[in-house]
Structures are given as C-alpha cells and as structure tokens.
Amino acid sequence: MVQAAQTDLDGQIALERVSKAFGRVVAVNDISITIPGGSFFSLLGPSGCGKTTTLRMIAGFETPDTGRMLLQGLDVTYVPPSKRNVNMVFQNYGLFPHMTVGENIAFGPKIKKWSREETRTRVTEVIRTVQLEGMEDRRPGQLSGGQQQRVALARALVNRPAALLLDEPLGALDLKLRKEMQLELKSLQQRTGTTFIYVTHDQEEAMTMSDRIAVMKGGVVEQLATPRELYQRPASAFVAGFIGTSNLITLRIDRRDAGCFVMDLGDGERIMAVDPGVGTSESEQTITVRPEWIKLAVDAGGGSLGDRSTHVSATVIDVVYLGSVTQLIVELRTGERVTVHRLNDEVGAEDPRPGDGVALRWAAEHSFVIGPRKDAS
C-alpha cells in the first residue's frame, strides 16, 4: 500500500489571500483556504468560477498576482511545478499509447533516475493499490475508460506526492462508470492517506467523495464546509441552489415568537423560521427549505405556536413521478412556487393532481435563514 510519512503538516496546503487575474478578468479574488493533510477536498462551482485556476496555482502552472501558497508549511508561491511535491491528473489522462501499463507508471521514477529495484517495488505496490494486477503488460488502448483512469492515478501516486490534484478526471466517463469511479477514488484516497484536491462542477460528485468542499462563484469562496453543513445550512442563496434542490422563500417578519421569525398569512396559517440570533433589523429575510422536509398535511390552519412549524396552503401546479419520490410543484398563497418531494413508500397511494389544493407543514428548524433577499444567480 502506498503510504506517506505522517507529520502534522503532511499534505496540508494553505492559500493565503490569493488572487489571480487574466487581463481585466479576475479569475480568483482574495481567497484563503486551508486544506488539511490526508483529506479529500473539492473545489466546486460552475464554469468560470475560478476553481480550475485555483488548482493550477496549487500545481504551479499559474502564479498568483497577490498572496502566497504553502505546502507542508513551506512557501511554494514561486516554486516551479517540477519542484513541488504534488502531481496532477487531467481529464484526458495523458497516457503514452505506445507504453504498457507498467511502463506508463514507471515513467516518472525513470525520469527521476530511481534504481531499478526501487522502481519495480513502487510500481508493483501502486498497481496493487489501484487494483490493476495482471494488466501490467497491456497498452492503454486495450483498457476500459475506468482502467485507464486507474493507470493515470497510479502514475501520479507512484512518486508518493504530498497531494494529488484532479481536474474533473471523470468527465469523459459514462454516468454508470463515473459513479463507480467516485467510490473507487474515495476508497483509494482513504487507503493511501494522500491529500486529494478535486475540481468539479458536479455537486453530487463532490458530495459523494469529499470531506470538505469549497463552493466557488465569481472567483470567491461562497462557503467552505462539510457536505452535510453545505446541504443543511447553506450560507447563501447561491449555495442553497447549487447544492441539491432548495426552495427560496421571502419571509416577511410580522413578529417574533418562541425563538422564531413568524410571517402571518391569516386563517391560522403562517411561515416560521428559527431566529438565527444575529441581531438583524431587516423586516424581510430569505429562507431556504429542502423539498424533502416539506410534508403534506390534512389541513393548513390550526396548530399552536408551541409546535414551531409552518402551516400553509398551496395549489398544485405540476406533478412528476421520479421513482422513489414524486415531485410536486406548488404555489403558496403568497404567490411563490416551491418544490415538494413526497416519498413513494406506500403502494397504491394517490398523488394530488394539478389544480388540487394541498396543505403543507414543515418544522421551523427546517427553514434556514440565509439573509436579506439577494439574486442567487
């Protein structure tokens, strides 16, 4: 098994107030990130958000305009790529077609003039780690896409880098293989203990594999957190919309009660959200609530404030069967449309139809306040 030496700074990477512009376009704007050694860390965001530029600066292919970059406690801001203890895996793999699997993996050690014995030992070790035993003599053209991916990973890992940088390496694979490789990558990272830094625009991919995720937009980090925290407590409307499906609702604060913001809708209906206690003076807030947290109820009215839950009526606009869940698009009496996911766990249960009135309820704790209304685009 490929194993790196264990130290407090092993594989740790820190970006301190790093910026990078190309002409008048600011690709990365004053970001600070610390990536713990031995973790699986993802840079996630839409095209043009700055994630690939950030990865290329870590690799040394781009130089920051301002700020500095530390690897294992050492300043590598102006150190060339060949002198950094990191390796990069690209989407196209970059394998040599005329070389065998073993020769591709051994290419780096030979360039570094390792001894034959050390090269053989390392190559054998890493082939076992990526589970390619028996394929040493095959050429890339004789391998599947997933196997080629593993060869590229083995070639990058054979030098035992402090960090492995991956720029959307699964983008060329079909969906089924891509999902299989996600699990393989995570397992490989855990087996080797190498720091993985992964760039992707696919939020499900990042959520599946990562210990921590930096969500980027317009060259800045919108939020850096664990997958669970990003999903359950998004810091902005952009993060809420980019990580899974979420509903954004404008909450007019009519009063505060039971530690909650309350918007009264009449007829015993209300929308509630837990007051985050940040001393806000705004009369409106934006809340986000996930579709699976909204439940269909018998009626919208009633319910005591002590139950700290939203009670609101709505009209069904659209119904889509998605297998494990049925997706309802409904319009609240406020005029806002929200998505509801109803679990299909009852055989023969009938779904509402477009035009039907429904009652919705959800706990105040599931209405997460993300601040005054802003454009989420």
Confidence grade of residue 306 (pLDDT, cut at 50, 70, 90): low
Please give the average per-residue pLDDT across 211-229, as a whole number.
Answer: 96
CB atoms within 10 A of CB 255: 10
Q: Which is more confident, 162 or 299?
A: 162
Provide the domain count of the chain: 2
Q: Same domain for 162 and 279?
A: no
In a domain, 3, yes or no: no
pLDDT digits (tens, 9 = 90+) for 39-98: 999 999 999 999 999 999 999 999 999 999 999 899 999 999 988 989 888 777 778 889
From 354, 346, 361, 344, select the one nearest 319 (Cα to Cα).
Answer: 354
In a domain, 5, yes or no: no
Q: Same domain for 271 and 190?
A: no
Q: Same domain for 43 and 172?
A: yes
pLDDT for the residue numbered 281? 66
Q: Quick one: tokens of 297?
A: 């109820």
Q: Same domain for 211 and 350?
A: no
Q: Which amino acid is at 246?
A: S
Q: What is the largest CA-CA distance in the chain?
A: 82
Phi, psi of 322 (to 5 degrees): -120, 20
In a domain, 120, yes or no: yes
Q: Which is more confident, 298 or 294?
A: 294
Domain end marker among 241, 256, 290 = 241
Q: Same domain for 95 and 234?
A: yes
62 with 53: CB under 8 angstroms?
A: yes
Please give the average per-residue pLDDT across 212-220, as a whole number.
Answer: 97
Q: Same domain for 125 and 261?
A: no
pLDDT digits (tens, 9 = 90+) for 16-29: 999 999 999 999 99
- Tell me what the pLDDT averaged over the chain comes to: 87
Percent with pLDDT over 70 in the chain? 92
CATH of the domain at 48: 3.40.50.300
231 with 292: CB under 8 angstroms?
A: no
Please give the average per-residue pLDDT across 98-113, as a whole number.
Answer: 86
Q: Quick one: tokens of 117?
A: 């014995």
Angle at the Cα of 258 (from 254 to 262), degrees rounded to 5?
20
Residue 199 scores a pLDDT above 80: yes
Helices assigned H by DSSP within the chain = 51-59, 101-111, 116-129, 145-157, 175-192, 203-209, 227-232, 237-242
Q: What is the DSSP letter of 152?
A: H
pLDDT for the residue numbered 88? 86
Q: Same domain for 269 and 283?
A: yes
d(C-alpha 200, C-alpha 146), whole Å: 18
Q: Same domain for 234 and 358?
A: no
In a domain, 376, yes or no: no
Q: Same domain for 311 and 363?
A: yes
Q: Same domain for 32 and 78?
A: yes
194 with 36: CB under 8 angstroms?
A: no
In a domain, 1, yes or no: no
In a domain, 148, yes or no: yes
In a domain, 266, yes or no: yes
CATH of the domain at 279: 2.40.50.140
Domain end marker among 225, 241, 257 = 241
Percent with pLDDT over 90 in the chain? 52
Residue 377 scores a pLDDT above 60: no
From 279, 291, 292, select the one nearest 248 (Cα to Cα).
Answer: 291
In a domain, 107, yes or no: yes
Domain end marker among 207, 241, 275 = 241
Confidence grade of residue 120 (pLDDT, cut at 50, 70, 90): confident
pLDDT for the residue numbered 280? 62
CB atoms within 10 A of CB 104: 25
**Residue 358: domain span:** 246-371
pLDDT digits (tens, 9 = 90+) for 232-258: 999 999 999 899 889 999 999 999 888
**What's the Cα-to-Cα distance from 161 to each of 3, 35, 46, 187, rounded to whole Å?**
10, 15, 28, 17
Q: Which amino acid is at 322?
A: L
Q: Same domain for 27 and 115?
A: yes
Q: Same domain for 27 and 174?
A: yes
